[in-house]
């Protein structure tokens, strides 16, 4: 009696452990499956275009004249994400500085409000951007810039329309602020108190304390936070699709700020449903998805390594 | 003696000059930091004001329950979209939550080894995958296989967004349950799975519910994976194997129409969607803001660095 009881105990726990392990490994299996599926479904276009798929700029789905080059969309993704980083990272770090220093009764609600920015879905950013923000941007920022610098600086040299790389980048910048500022905040809080106290004891002002104690110590983590934001900006779809103006072919190459463009995710969102599975159009879009996935994985792995290394330092400090 | 007094005065003036400059720089830095905070809050404020101002005007009983009318007439409503969103949330939860919870149990109870660390790392990376790629994946595995767009495909795509969030929040909450609870259970002769499910999970309930609700809030606004899986429709539920509408999809379609009436309906749909999401988010946050500090810490650990 006792023996059988013991036996069944072991087996039930084994089943439990195996189930849990399977569920845990599920994520690895899914990642492998996604990479494999996306590659195998897009290999037709890789065969057809070769490396030209990455470097070419022609985009034509008409049968017999098929040409698929994703370079303008890759460039568009890099341009919008880069601009978004240029605007979003300083603002996010400023917010993190404020939240890490402010008294709790201000910092906590403010952190929640910033987190709510991340809760607003992409589609609502897009809708708001299309109907409200676009007008504001067009008349208050884009036209003045165009009127003053349009002749002299090539960045502002095309007539603004409101649906362009510039407006998509600003929306992206708003959308990555919560990610970057939340991680930066954690990292700034993780800097050991002794560092900050040492800076204050030397007579540093608050700003100097940040410059002397926090920034050098947290540099890696802050870079990781920014890269995490970049990963998010690269994959963001709906808001960008609604605001970027959706050019295709060589025209989609980002040349000026006020010119319509296209990103990897936006061209998938725009054309996926119309693409015929029988032609090369669908494999081409899947190929772009595959490229996007590889870029996103690479960015996120780097970001997670940087951030987790920084937060591990924190644990060590607490333990000693 | 004289020289030292003179020197001291000189030092003093140098010091004052130096300090004044540094204090001014400090003030400027503080001003810039404050400006950053204000700049970030303005868009959120504007979105909320516009969505509620324009959206509430569009909302009526008819709007919430009717099928969409003919394009451009401004007739009809978003009934199927609301129904579809609720069904998709339910279905993805059915797939995503069990996997997520089990995966979280694996990470916290059996995850202290190489496999566990690998899973944890890729779980975090997977959380940041572009959702449109998950949509393509669901399209390839389900839509192409079955030959038609379906609710299943959409729910599968969204469950992929959901389970890593649930897994990590489950893990974090299970880790907060003291080891002595587990030891007490095992000492009483209970099996490990009984200890985990009956004692540890019930002690970690609050944190897990937070994670699940935040995951639900996150998927209810997802659009990109739905474009290529459930496609959209203007009819009420017609079976799990057929296309269906969802609120984000409806907003997307309405935004493509050039009519004022479509815009108004879009604001209405956006208002309903954002009310659902904000209710979950603010509810969860309020709940944890009023909880004890250890729960609050858990909350910040979960939120810190994680996109929700």
Task: Judge whether B63 and B78 are in contact, CB under 8 Å.
Answer: yes
Output the pLDDT for position B87.
Answer: 94
End-to-end CA distance of chain A: 50
* A23: nearest Cα among B104, B117, B191: B104
**Which chain B positions have a beta carbon within 8 Å of A268's beta carbon?**
132, 136, 224
Partners of residue A67 on adjacent β-strands: A60
**B52 to chain A: nearest residue by CA?**
A128
- Asked whether residue A45 carries a pLDDT value surpassing 80, the answer given is yes
Least confident of A46-50, A98-102, A301-305, B294-298: B294-298
B74 — pLDDT class (breaks 50, 70, 90)? confident
Angle in degrees, 0-180, between the axes of helices B79-109 and B260-289, rounded to the nearest 10: 30
Output the pLDDT for position B292.
Answer: 45
- Within 111-170 of A, beta carbons closer than 8 Å to B belong to 111-128, 130-133
| DSSP codes joined into one string, B234-256 | SSS---TTS-B--HHHHHHHHHT
* Mean pLDDT value across residues A207-223: 92
Tell me, what DSSP letter sits at residue A202?
T
Output the pLDDT for position A10.
Answer: 64
Q: What CA dihedral angle connects A56, A57, A62 and A64, to 10 degrees?
A: -30
* Mean pLDDT value across residues B276-298: 70
* Mean pLDDT value across residues B172-176: 90
CA distance B151 to B289: 36
**Which chain A positions have a beta carbon within 8 Å of B193's beta carbon?**
12-13, 15-16
**A183 part of contact set with chain B, CB < 8 Å:** yes
CA distance B252 to B243: 16
- Asked whether residue B301 carries a pLDDT value surpassing 50, the answer given is no
**Which chain A positions have a beta carbon within 8 Å of B163's beta carbon?**
26-27
Output the pLDDT for position B295.
Answer: 47
What is the average pLDDT value for chain B, to the nearest integer? 87
* B174: nearest Cα among B96, B101, B280: B101
Distance from CA of B192 to the nearest CA of A (A): 6
Instruction: Test B136 with A95 for CB contact under 8 angstroms.
Output: no
CA A298 to chain CA centroid, nearest Å: 12
- Asked whether residue B134 carries a pLDDT value surpassing 50, the answer given is yes
State the Rg of chain A over Cα.
24
Distance from CA of A178 to the nearest CA of B (A): 8
Instruction: Test A237 with B132 for CB contact under 8 angstroms.
Output: yes
Least confident of A32-36, A205-209, B203-207, B304-308: B304-308
Among A24, A234, A296, whose Cβ lies nearest the Cβ of B107? A24
| More confident: B296 or A292 | A292
**A269 part of contact set with chain B, CB < 8 Å:** yes
Least confident of A48-62, A75-89, A114-128, A177-191: A48-62
| More confident: B292 or B248 | B248
Say how many CB pairs under 8 Å bridge A and B.
278
- Cβ count within 10 A of residue A47: 11
* Mean pLDDT value across residues A26-49: 92
* Mean pLDDT value across residues A127-150: 91
Considering A46-50, A306-310, B77-81, B132-136, the range whose residues carry the highest mean pLDDT is: B132-136
What is the average pLDDT value for chain A, to the nearest integer? 88
CA distance A81 to A168: 9
* Mean pLDDT value across residues A44-64: 84
- Asked whether residue A62 carries a pLDDT value surpassing 90, the answer given is no
In percent, the amount of chain B with pLDDT more than 90 equals 54
Instruction: Test A121 with B134 for CB contact under 8 angstroms.
Output: no
- Within 47-106 of A, beta carbons closer than 8 Å to B belong to 90-95, 97-98
């Amino acid at each position: 009696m006792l023996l059988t009881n013991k036996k069944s105990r072991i087996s039930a726990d084994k089943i439990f452990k195996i189930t849990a392990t399977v569920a845990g490994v599920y994520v690895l299996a899914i990642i492998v499956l996604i990479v494999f599926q996306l590659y195998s479904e897009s290999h037709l276009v890789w065969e057809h275009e070769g490396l030209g798929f990455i470097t070419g700029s022609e985009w034509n789905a008409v049968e017999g004249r098929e040409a698929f080059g994703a370079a303008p969309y890759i460039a568009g993704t890099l341009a919008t994400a880069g601009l978004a980083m240029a605007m979003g990272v300083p603002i996010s770090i400023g917010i993190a500085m404020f939240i890490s220093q402010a008294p709790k009764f201000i910092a906590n609600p403010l952190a929640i409000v910033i987190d709510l920015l991340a809760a607003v879905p992409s589609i609502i950013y897009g809708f708001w951007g299309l109907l409200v923000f676009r007008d504001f941007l067009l008349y208050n920022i884009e036209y003045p810039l165009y009127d003053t610098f349009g002749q002299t600086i090539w960045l502002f040299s095309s007539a603004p329309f409101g649906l362009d790389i510039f407006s998509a980048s600003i929306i992206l910048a708003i959308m990555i602020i919560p990610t970057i500022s939340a991680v930066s905040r954690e990292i700034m809080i993780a800097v050991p108190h002794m560092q900050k106290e040492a800076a204050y004891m030397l007579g540093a002002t608050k700003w100097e304390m940040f410059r002397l104690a926090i920034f050098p110590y947290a540099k890696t983590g802050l870079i990781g936070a920014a890269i995490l934001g970049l990963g998010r900006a690269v994959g963001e779809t709906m808001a960008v699709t609604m605001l970027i103006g959706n050019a295709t072919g060589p025209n989609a190459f980002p040349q000026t700020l006020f010119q319509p463009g296209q990103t990897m995710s936006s061209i998938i969102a725009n054309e996926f449903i119309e693409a015929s599975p029988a032609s090369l159009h669908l494999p081409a879009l899947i190929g772009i998805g595959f490229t996007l996935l590889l870029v996103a994985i690479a960015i996120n792995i780097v970001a997670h390594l940087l951030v987790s290394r920084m937060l591990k330092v924190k644990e060590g400090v607490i333990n000693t | 003696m004289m020289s030292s007094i003179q020197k001291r005065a000189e030092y003093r003036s140098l010091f004052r000059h130096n300090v004044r400059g540094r204090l001014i720089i400090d003030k400027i830095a503080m001003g810039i930091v404050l400006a950053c905070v204000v700049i970030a809050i303005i868009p959120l404020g504007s979105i909320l004001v516009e969505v509620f101002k324009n959206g509430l005007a569009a909302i009526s009983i008819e709007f919430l329950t009717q099928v969409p009318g003919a394009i451009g007439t401004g007739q009809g409503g978003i009934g199927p979209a609301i129904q579809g969103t609720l069904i998709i949330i339910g279905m993805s939860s059915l797939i995503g939550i069990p996997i997520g919870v089990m995966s979280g149990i694996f990470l916290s109870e059996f995850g202290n080894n190489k496999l566990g660390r690998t899973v944890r790392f890729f779980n975090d990376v997977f959380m940041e995958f572009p959702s449109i790629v998950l949509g393509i994946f669901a399209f390839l595995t389900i839509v192409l296989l079955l030959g038609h767009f379906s609710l299943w495909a959409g729910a599968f795509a969204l469950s992929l967004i959901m389970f890593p969030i649930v897994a990590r929040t489950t893990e974090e909450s299970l880790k907060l349950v003291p080891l002595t609870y587990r030891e007490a259970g095992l000492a009483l002769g209970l099996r490990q799975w009984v200890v985990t499910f009956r004692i540890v999970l019930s002690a970690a309930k609050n944190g897990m519910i937070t994670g699940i609700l935040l995951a639900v809030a996150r998927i209810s606004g997802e659009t990109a994976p739905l474009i290529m899986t459930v496609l959209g429709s203007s009819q009420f539920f017609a079976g799990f194997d057929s296309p269906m509408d969802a609120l984000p999809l409806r907003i997307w379609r309405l935004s493509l129409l050039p009519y004022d009436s479509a815009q108004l309906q879009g604001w209405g749909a956006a208002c309903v969607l954002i009310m659902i999401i904000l209710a979950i988010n603010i509810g969860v946050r309020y709940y944890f803001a009023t909880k004890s500090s250890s729960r609050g810490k858990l909350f910040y650990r979960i939120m810190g660095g994680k996109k929700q």
